[in-house]
Amino acid sequence: MQQASHPTVILGGGFAGLFTALHLSHQNYSHPIILIEQRDRFSFKPLLYELLSGELHNTQVYPRYKELLADSRVSFVQDTVESIALHQRRVILASGKIFDYGNLILALGSKTTYFDTAGAAEHAIPFTSGEEAMALRKHLRHRLHQAIQTQDSQRRRLLLTVAIIGAGPAGIELACTLADLLPIWYDELGGDADEIRVVVVNRSREILKGDVNSHLRCTVQQALKRRVVPVDFLFDAAVTKINPDGVEYRQHEQTQILPAGTIAWTAGTAPNPLLMELPVVKNRGRLVVTPTLQLPDFPEIFAAGDCAIDRDNPQPTTAQVAYQQGKAIAHNLKRLGEGKPPTSVQIQMRGTLMKLGLNEGVANLFNKVQIKGQPGHLIREATYLQLLPNSAHNRKATTEWLTDELFQRHRPFSHMQLGQTPLLHGVATLAAGLILATPLIWRAAFPMQFQQNLSWTGVPSLLDGLTPASR
């Protein structure tokens, strides 16, 4: 049980940490809540592609913690954790501040890892935060402006080539986004969009290898072919060095170089190095936790998100898992405060969502039904916007998104047919998406109820013909 005079301290403001704090605040938790995070803004990672492209605004995807927590009981401390003394129940920050805690939540997330690749940290741009997404956007814009001003065709080809390291979900979603977005940006400058090249460099021959989205491989491959410019792949290519203007790699026992003016790194992450110093059981750098998300030897400490693993029930390191873990930790802390034992955390996987280009996506609902194209895009954005950290921000962001969809405001693309007004285009898009999505979501979530209630209409048979679960 928590010491009455000491607060609950949460380290890390990602999905797990932030949602733990917010749920504690909403349930009128009796102890002080302190959230410590080194950044001043929350990065809604699944929607960083929309931040890069301009499909969504900074305030929607990259809000300040102080704004998100303004009406809560959470005290926000922007600082870096220097060390954690588990036996003394103490956290020491880089500023010299010290916090003694009754309960501690470790949600420090992960860091980009370059696997000791020479030059990667200096010359490759990672893509894990709002700050990095905006840096990549600025860099790409600069490269396009350079390209339009040069007469040297070889130099222009280099400036217009983007290399993306890694073919996991982040690499694929980024490639699809840029393959649609860069031609539009370059066309606005008067350039030839056909000169744009997007290349994904991958160590193996499979995209999405070992990922929770691997079963979407066929859908992804089809989407890659429909982009404004094709996405090229270098398979079986082990990156050995990143240069300022290119990628050096080994392929078929030969060293080769891919000239590229932009190099984005999505090849992997590793647990926060601070965790390696803790005297607790780990599994590949992640903290081993019990089914209640507590550390076995320190039950006053909970851990979640990318930095924790329950070896008997491992979960993918996704936003929906971290969100549910945050809610579960808050629930268990409340139980502990009431003198009750914590309960095991039950994670419900509700399917996966992927962005496959501008205005295109796939929603794999409950791993049963795939909704693709523009309806998939609408479901994906609407679902993520409903997960935004607090209700006021949620309503504001969702309203802004809905308005933008209806009136096509702030869009980086607008290739509408002649005579089609923005309002009619937006209404038709939204209506089509919702009309198609509603029965599919119902069928995926409650198949028996769906069949019983709508069998007389013929809709179940129609949907079975259009989108069988095996596809």
**What are the tens digits of pLDDT across the range 82-105?**
999 999 999 999 999 999 999 999
Of 360, 357, 171, nearest in space to 269 by CA: 171
**CB-based contacts of 405, cutoff 8 Å, min separation 6:** 378, 426, 429, 430
Read off the pLDDT band of 228 (50, 70, 90): very high
pLDDT tens per residue, range 395-431: 566 556 555 554 544 444 443 333 333 333 444 444 4
The DSSP letter of residue 274 is G
Please tell me the predicted confidence (pLDDT) of residue 398.
56
Residue 48 token pair: 């960083």
Task: Count each helix (H run) and each strand (E run) in the chain, helices first.
Answer: 15, 25
CA 389 from chain centre, in angstroms, equals 14
Computed over every residue of the chain, the mean pLDDT equals 86
Report the alpha-carbon distance of residue 292 to residue 287 in Å, rounded: 13
Closest CA to 260 of 155, 112, 151: 155
| Crossing angle of the two packed helices 169-188 and 130-149, in degrees rounded to 10 | 40
Q: What was the pLDDT predicted at 400?
A: 61
Nearest to 313 by CA among 301, 325, 323: 325
pLDDT at 61 > cutoff 50: yes
- State the Cα–Cα distance between residues 300 and 178, nearest whole angstrom: 45
Q: What is the pLDDT of residue 5?
A: 64
Asked if residues 401 and 47 have their Cβ atoms less than 8 Å apart, the reply is no
Provide the pLDDT confidence category of residue 393 given band limits of 50, 70 and 90.
low
- Sequence-distant (≥ 6) Cβ neighbours of residue 421 within 8 angstroms: none
Q: What is the mean pLDDT of residues 376-401?
A: 71
Residue 213 pLDDT grade (very low, low, confident, very high; cuts 50, 70, 90): confident
Q: Look at residue 236 in the predicted model and tell me its pLDDT.
A: 97
Question: Looking at residue 366, what is its pLDDT?
Answer: 77
Question: Cβ-count burial of 154 within 10 angstroms (0-12 exposed, 13-18 middle, 19+ buried)?
Answer: exposed
pLDDT band at 44 (very low <50, low <70, confident <90, very high): very high
Could you give the percent of the chain with pLDDT greater than 90?
A: 69
Banded model confidence at residue 388, pLDDT cuts 50, 70, 90: confident
| Alpha helices in 165-234, H assignment, sequence order | 169-188, 217-225
pLDDT tens digits, 287-297 = 999 999 999 99
